[in-house]
Amino acid sequence: MMPSTPDPDMPVDEIMRRWPATIRVMIRHGMLCIGCPFGIFHTVADAAAAHEVDEAAFTAELSRVIRPDSSDETPSAFEEETAPPGRNL
């Protein structure tokens, strides 16, 4: 069974691979961790420090999107938040 929260020592690259909904959180905080060569080494704490993001708030937001079956409920980081009028997603 997949854990519902990341290990504090888990690299952000692994977090994004296990829980794709976290990609949206990274982007929202201006983190360009997607495809970054440091992503395989940086933990959440490392990434938060490197991007001057509040670690506690960032971790809490990651935890909110990391939940069982979140991949079925959470849209891709590259999709629009809501569909434009007359368009169904």
Q: What is the full DSSP assignment across 46-78?
A: HHHHHTT--HHHHHHHHHHH-STTHHHHSPPTT
For residue range 3-29, what is the model confidence (pLDDT) as tens digits? 566 777 889 999 999 999 999 999 998
d(CA 29, CA 25): 6
For the entire predicted model, the pTM comes to: 0.68
Q: Report pLDDT digits (tens) over 30-61.
A: 888 888 888 999 999 999 999 999 999 999 99
